[in-house]
């Protein structure tokens, strides 16, 4: 094997808190090393050390046989190390060609030269994209491929991918994996971070388990399974949850009748009962996002009806949705101020007004949420931006779960959070459903929808093409309806029964 990277006994801190406590790992050329760990285990800090954005204070790293200690991301790139972060952002006005070559030594060349080279790279990885198209017209999966092409343009020998596929549907993940395997055949090495345990088994050669700032174990991907990985992460067995059955005789919480949003959504009708988990799924161009945004007033509907608790309502803005007790967790932006504290983030802007006893009770509630959701912090008054990406997602999620909504709409609620936290989230959501809260889940994680939802609606080309009872469906059936073509993932047989 041709060793590319060797890190030995790496220690690193963040704001006086020790994060990495002696990490050691190695990576060969042509290898994909999967990396998993609970939120706050140190994954992002370790990737920052390797990519030059964070400095370690002990240990040493060898890259291609040379000592490696980059002082900046620019120096790391010059050494052949590139990072695609979890929440990467691309300028929507850049062309694909410009986006691919931004930050490289070729960035200043005329667009026609860049266009020709970009077309070659796109052709080489076997995807279809127009180099002249604007990045803002691309779906998230296509933007991820642009970032991978940037790694190729930078001639990166080590590509680090931090939760890049967190909100991508299975068929888009499959395309991304195909491209990554092609890169390894060129001799590049990849560190691939994900919380999806089935995904890491399918893409990685070996899997490193990071726990409490150390590499606890490295396994051959072909010699392990999801249950073993979950146990090594959490140090206990996952609880088995029975698939939910259809709810009968439940009161209606929300009804949508013949709803349209311009040309993006046409004639959609469905209802959600009190206490029901109702799933929605579709590709980024299916209209599913526009449908959700109409229900919460981000982009109002152009025709049709929305009924809440049996009464017809007008939702022309987010204030209308809030007044109707419809909550919405978006997957695109954090609603808390950048300098907000963890306590402020969890209190949803509600300050205690009844004196010291109320303030103490509010803080105890915050501490309980931090404990239950395993948010990795030693100071609830610390800034939100000191938390890992997954822990910030937990704060956003917990804020809405404690906001007193009658209808709660969650877009990719488990994006970036570890498998143990997913268990906790599900239990907390289930407690809300037992109180009569109607929960609408938009997710690209089809196994999550099948595990949690009573019914699942599938959007395609602006229309709601089916509503599947849980007992009738599985991941392959849902993808079939999403794409309009047969797609086999090998995840099991659908149970096609009539209820």
Q: Which two tokens stand for residue 32?
A: 């994909």
Q: Model confidence at 261, in pLDDT bands (50, 70, 90)? A: very high
Asked which of 20-24, 123-127, 239-243, 380-384 is least confident by mean pLDDT, the reply is 239-243
Residues 455 and 476: their CA atoms lie apart, in Å, by 16
Given a cut of 90, whether residue 217 has pLDDT beyond it is: yes
Q: Which pLDDT value is given to residue 499?
A: 29
User: Between residues 454 and 39, which one has the greater pLDDT?
Assistant: 454
Mean pLDDT value across residues 363-384: 81
Say which residue the tokens 């060793």 belong to.
Answer: 3
Instruction: Tell me the range of 21-35, 336-350, 356-370, 431-445 where mean pLDDT is highest.
Output: 21-35
Encode pLDDT of 95-136 as tens digits: 999 999 998 888 888 888 899 999 999 988 778 889 999 999
Q: Model confidence at 185, in pLDDT bands (50, 70, 90)? A: very high
* pTM > 0.85: yes or no: no
Q: Model confidence at 495, in pLDDT bands (50, 70, 90)? A: very low
Encode pLDDT of 130-155 as tens digits: 999 999 998 888 898 999 999 988 88
CATH architecture of 252-483: 3-Layer(aba) Sandwich (3.40)
* 3-234 under CATH 3.40.50.300, yes or no: yes
Q: Which two tokens stand for residue 90?
A: 């691309």
Given a cut of 60, whether residue 333 has pLDDT beyond it is: no
Helix 475-483 with 170-185: angle, nearest 10 deg: 90
Given a cut of 90, whether residue 22 has pLDDT beyond it is: yes
Residues 465 and 130: their CA atoms lie apart, in Å, by 30
User: Please, are residues 75 and 134 in contact by the beta-carbon 8 Å criterion?
Assistant: no
Mean pLDDT value across residues 383-403: 79
187 Rama class: left (phi>0) / alpha (psi -120 to 50) / beta:
left
Given a cut of 90, whether residue 378 has pLDDT beyond it is: no
Specify the domain boundaries for CATH 3.40.50.300 within the chain. Answer: 3-234, 252-483
Encode pLDDT of 36-63 as tens digits: 998 888 998 999 999 999 999 999 999 9
Q: Model confidence at 491, in pLDDT bands (50, 70, 90)? A: very low
């Amino acid at each position: 094997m041709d060793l590319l990277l060797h890190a030995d006994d790496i220690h690193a801190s963040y704001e006086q808190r020790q994060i990495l406590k002696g990490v050691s790992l190695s990576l060969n050329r042509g290898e994909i090393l999967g990396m998993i760990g609970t939120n706050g285990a140190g994954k992002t800090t370790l990737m920052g050390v390797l990519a030059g954005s964070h400095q370690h204070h002990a240990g040493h790293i060898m890259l291609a046989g040379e000592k490696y200690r980059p002082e900046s991301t620019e120096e790391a790139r010059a050494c052949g190390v590139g990072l695609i972060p979890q929440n990467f952002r691309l300028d929507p006005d850049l062309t694909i060609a410009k986006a691919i070559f931004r930050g490289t030594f070729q960035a200043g060349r005329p667009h026609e030269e860049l266009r020709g080279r970009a077309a070659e790279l796109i052709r080489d990885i076997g995807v279809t994209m127009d180099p002249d198209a604007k990045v803002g017209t691309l779906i998230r999966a296509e933007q991820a491929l642009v970032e991978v092409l940037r790694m190729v343009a930078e001639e990166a020998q080590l590509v680090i991918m931090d939760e890049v596929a967190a909100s991508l549907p299975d068929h888009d993940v499959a395309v991304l994996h195909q491209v990554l395997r092609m890169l390894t055949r060129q001799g590049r090495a990849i560190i691939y971070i994900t919380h999806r345990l089935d995904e890491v088994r399918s893409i990685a050669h070996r899997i490193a388990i990071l726990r409490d700032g150390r590499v606890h174990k490295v396994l051959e991907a072909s010699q392990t399974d999801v249950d073993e990985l979950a146990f090594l992460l959490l140090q206990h067995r996952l609880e088995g949850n029975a698939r939910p059955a259809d709810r009968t005789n439940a009161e209606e919480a929300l009804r949508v009748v013949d709803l349209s949003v311009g040309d993006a959504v046409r004639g959609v009708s469905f209802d959600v009962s009190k206490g029901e988990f109702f799933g929605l799924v579709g590709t980024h161009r299916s209209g599913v996002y526009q449908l959700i945004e109409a229900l919460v007033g981000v982009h109002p509907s152009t025709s049709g009806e929305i009924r809440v608790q049996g009464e017809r309502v007008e939702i022309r803005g987010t204030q209308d949705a809030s007044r109707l007790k419809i909550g919405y967790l978006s997957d695109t932006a954090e609603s808390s101020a950048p300098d907000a504290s963890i306590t402020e983030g969890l209190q949803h802007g509600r300050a205690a007004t009844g004196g010291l006893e109320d303030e103490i009770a509010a803080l105890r509630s915050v501490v309980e949420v931090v404990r239950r959701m395993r948010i990795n912090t030693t100071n609830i008054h610390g800034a939100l931006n000191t938390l890992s990406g997954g822990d910030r997602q937990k704060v956003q999620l917990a804020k809405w779960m404690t906001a007193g909504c009658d209808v709660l709409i969650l877009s990719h609620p488990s994006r970036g959070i570890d498998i143990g936290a997913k268990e906790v989230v599900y239990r907390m959501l289930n407690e809300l459903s037992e109180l009569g809260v109607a929960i609408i889940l938009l997710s690209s994680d089809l196994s999550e929808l099948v595990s949690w939802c009573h019914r699942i609606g599938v959007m395609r080309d602006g229309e709601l093409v089916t509503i599947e009872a849980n007992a009738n469906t599985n991941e392959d059936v849902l993808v079939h309806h999403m794409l309009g073509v047969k797609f086999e993932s090998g995840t099991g047989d659908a149970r096609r029964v009539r209820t």
